[in-house]
Amino acid sequence: MNIEMIRAAAARLHGHIRRTPLLSSPALDDIAGRRVLVKPECLQHTGSFKYRGARAALSALDPDTRARGVLAFSSGNHAQGIARAAGEYGVPAVIVMPRDAPRLKIDTTRALGAEVVLYDRGREDRAAIGAALAKERGLTLIRPYDEPEVIAGQGTCGLEIAEDARALGIETAEVLSCCGGGGLSSGIALALEAEAPGLTLRTVEPEAFDDMKRSLAEGRITGHCGPEGGLCDAILTPQPGEITFPILARLAGPGIAVSDDHALRAMALAFQRLKLVAEPGGAVALAAALFSPEIRAGTVIATISGGNVEADTFTRALATLG
Amino acid sequence: MNIEMIRAAAARLHGHIRRTPLLSSPALDDIAGRRVLVKPECLQHTGSFKYRGARAALSALDPDTRARGVLAFSSGNHAQGIARAAGEYGVPAVIVMPRDAPRLKIDTTRALGAEVVLYDRGREDRAAIGAALAKERGLTLIRPYDEPEVIAGQGTCGLEIAEDARALGIETAEVLSCCGGGGLSSGIALALEAEAPGLTLRTVEPEAFDDMKRSLAEGRITGHCGPEGGLCDAILTPQPGEITFPILARLAGPGIAVSDDHALRAMALAFQRLKLVAEPGGAVALAAALFSPEIRAGTVIATISGGNVEADTFTRALATLG
């Protein structure tokens, strides 16, 4: 896993991904007491950065392997990214999802052309189902974050941040990344190391699901003490990845955790001040930029990693505007 | 009023305005039964295209005149555009608003550094108050649409549409513009005439406030039969402008009107599929792209002209998702 893989992914993704800008609002700067720049990956195809990694992984396969199709376990943004990328190549995508996944996510993934295979979480083994499908049809499994070409794809987001920060004359800043398994965070960290060494990546997680923060503090992969599900569903992972963690242990600053209330307020402020739709997990980095006492930099760059949120959750966030 | 003024405005605005992209979503194409591209001016500074015209008008003033300050009558997006542009130049902006304007709009305009002068709609004459202020302080009045340099600024949006359409290989399309007094629409129409003659501008208004549609049909400036206020507050004008109408009479296709229900559904779909916040008046062009039987083009480009909407109105729009 290295910067050359990210540069190669950027070349393959050119003309396919949306080149997202850095946005800002004087009102957000006032709230934060610092300069806040926002990288709106909610505007990426399929509504999250996951399309970058998915397209990067598919484009890295040799054509014969790709033609047999790909497999993913996901009920969320990774599924949509894989489904769209596979559709663009005209190759099969099989997405294995729990039977109790939200209807909208199942329908959206099917609408993108993927085959959705449902399983019973209580009685069936997801890995066994996937392995049997992969063997039978010759599908290639694309993991959501612990996969070098996926990390390379997410890293293209970091190349863009480095380029835009340079154009703005920003030499030092903290770059806040919404963090689940660490694919986006580790990709951005590698890109910044090479292209903008004055910019430091910091991971942001929900308070009860701070496995990356704990792991970074302890210097080894460890889990969180949170429950099974939560508001920020897109970024709830049991522990950091085997590939992503060593990268972040070497390059990232201390991890940050934010409350669900702050995530909801950040969603409301993104609505009011940036006219963007952020999902809860996609708003934690902006929440840290606005409300965390752990940030000292005069300039922060916060990813909004996704915007796939149901209307009722968004309405709940808007209620925090009072 | 000509294309050279628009090109000159583009040069002055370069580096100050946000260069907005063209966005799309396969789901919106499916609903519309045609290719739909969206120009998201809700992402423009101050949340609407109005900043383009405001900055263009201020930048066209000679420095001594500009230093004395500017004056605008507006409780909405024009006020915010003028306030921000004046703040950037460090010159005074006086905004005359009715005393019963929404508190948030008054506060937002003040937060941008403008002086807000309130008047009583029932008892006081807005024009007289403005004229007295202008004389006393040497302020220059900037009208919201019937002002050549404002139209030139809005026209820069049309130059960008022409450039991006060319890059996508689009030679013919209907360009749908949310229309109040016609500043944005006439500016875009002039830009397309020069840079993309295969693209035809069409204005879109709310059904009860279709003064431009009626005027285009009759070939002369006429009013609408609607009440005083409505959902799409940003684009409710009594009649087309004296400068904007002749431009549109020469260049635009037949006007289109959409229902408030369709405007709300377009807001909900912009939320769900584009992750963008549109205000009701800013969503009428997208509503036409998705739902109007009057469109025949295989490709439409719809402006989302602004995103300054209160949470309760947005929640009402989301409820249409069912």
Contact indicator for A119, A98 with CB cutoff of 8 Å: yes
Residue A5 vs residue B98, higher pLDDT: A5
Q: From CA A177, how far away is CA A186, in angstroms rounded?
A: 9
Q: Do A275 and B314 touch (CB under 8 A)?
A: no
Dihedrals phi, psi of B206, to nearest 5 degrees: -70, 150
- pLDDT for position A51: 98
H runs (alpha helix) in chain A? 3-13, 26-32, 50-60, 63-68, 77-89, 103-111, 126-137, 148-167, 183-195, 211-218, 244-251, 260-269, 284-291, 311-318
Q: Do B318 and A314 touch (CB under 8 A)?
A: yes
CA B113 to chain centre: 22
Which of A17, A37, A164, A275 is the best mutation test for B, with the most CBs of B within 10 A? A275
**pLDDT at A174 > cutoff 80:** yes
- pLDDT for position A308: 95
pLDDT tens per residue across span A113-159? 999 999 998 888 888 998 999 999 999 999 999 999 999 999 999 99
Minimal C-alpha gap between A126 and chain B (Å): 29
User: A51-141: same fold as A3-49+147-321?
Assistant: yes
Minimal C-alpha gap between A143 and chain B (Å): 25
pLDDT tens per residue across span B35-86? 999 999 999 999 999 999 999 999 999 999 999 999 999 878 999 999 999 9
**pLDDT at B101 > cutoff 90:** no
Closest-CA residue to A149 (of A234, A86, A83, A243)? A243
Residues of A in contact with B18 (CB under 8 A): 21, 23
pLDDT-derived band at A20 (thresholds 50, 70, 90) equals: very high
pLDDT-derived band at B162 (thresholds 50, 70, 90) equals: very high
pLDDT tens per residue across span A73-118? 988 899 999 999 999 999 999 999 988 887 878 888 999 999 999 9
Q: Do B275 and A307 touch (CB under 8 A)?
A: yes
- pLDDT for position A186: 98
Minimal C-alpha gap between A304 and chain B (Å): 11
The full 3-state SS of A66-103, as one line of letters, equals HHHCEEEECCCHHHHHHHHHHHHHCCCEEEEEECCCCH
pLDDT-derived band at A224 (thresholds 50, 70, 90) equals: confident
Residues of A in contact with B318 (CB under 8 A): 311, 314-315
**CB neighbours of residue B2 within 10 Å:** 13
Token pair, residue A17, equals 């991904």
Residues of A in contact with B111 (CB under 8 A): 26-27, 30
Q: What chain B residue is nearest to A17 in terms of C-alpha separation? A: B23
- pLDDT for position A132: 93
- pLDDT for position B4: 98
**pLDDT at A238 > cutoff 90:** no
Minimal C-alpha gap between A151 and chain B (Å): 24
Q: From CA B255, how far away is CA B240, in angstroms rounded?
A: 12
**pLDDT at A228 > cutoff 80:** no
Which of B51, B273, B275, B308 is the best mutation test for A, with the most CBs of A within 10 A? B275
**CB neighbours of residue A237 within 10 Å:** 21
Contact indicator for A305, A282 with CB cutoff of 8 Å: yes
**CB neighbours of residue B237 within 10 Å:** 21
- Mean pLDDT over B110-131 rounds to 90
Q: How many residue pairs from chains A and B have C-beta atoms closer than 8 A?
A: 59
Q: What chain A residue is nearest to B312 in terms of C-alpha separation? A: A318
Q: Do B318 and A307 touch (CB under 8 A)?
A: no
Residues of A in contact with B277 (CB under 8 A): 271, 275-277
Query: Which CATH number fits the domain A3-49+147-321, given the four candidates 3.40.50.700, 1.20.1560.10, 3.40.50.1100, 1.25.40.20?
Result: 3.40.50.1100
Contact indicator for A22, A161 with CB cutoff of 8 Å: yes
Q: From CA B182, how far away is CA B214, in angstroms rounded?
A: 13
Contact indicator for A50, A279 with CB cutoff of 8 Å: no
Q: Shortest CB distance from B275 goes to which of A112, A272, A276? A: A276
Q: From CA A222, how far away is CA B5, in angstroms rounded?
A: 62
ipTM of the complex: 0.95
Residues of A in contact with B319 (CB under 8 A): 311
Q: What is the CATH number of domain A51-141?
A: 3.40.50.1100
Q: Do A275 and B27 touch (CB under 8 A)?
A: no
CA A109 to chain centre: 17
Q: From CA B177, how far away is CA A84, in angstroms rounded?
A: 30
Minimal C-alpha gap between A174 and chain B (Å): 23
Minimal C-alpha gap between B48 and chain A (Å): 10
Closest-CA residue to B271 (of B91, B61, B27)? B27
Q: Do A276 and B276 touch (CB under 8 A)?
A: yes
**pLDDT at B226 > cutoff 80:** no
pLDDT-derived band at A230 (thresholds 50, 70, 90) equals: confident
Which stretch of B118-127, B134-143, B201-210 has the lowest confidence by average pLDDT?
A: B118-127
- pLDDT for position B253: 97
Q: Give percent of chain B with pLDDT exceeding 90.
A: 86
Residues of A in contact with B311 (CB under 8 A): 268, 271-272, 318-319, 321
For residues A186, A190, A191, A195, the Cα torsion angle rounded to the nearest 10 degrees is 150
Q: From CA A174, how far away is CA A189, in angstroms rounded?
A: 11
- Please report, for residues A296, B53, B108, B143, the alpha-carbon distance to residue B247 in angstroms, rounded to integers and kept in the order given: 53, 17, 33, 17
The gap between the terminal CA atoms of chain A, to the nearest Å, is 46
Q: Shortest CB distance from B311 goes to which of A27, A43, A318? A: A318
Q: What residues does each domain of chain B span?
A: 3-49+147-321, 51-141
pLDDT-derived band at B307 (thresholds 50, 70, 90) equals: very high
Q: What chain A residue is nearest to B275 in terms of C-alpha separation? A: A277
Residues of B in contact with A278 (CB under 8 A): 275
Contact indicator for B295, B174 with CB cutoff of 8 Å: yes
- pLDDT for position A104: 79
Minimal C-alpha gap between A317 and chain B (Å): 10
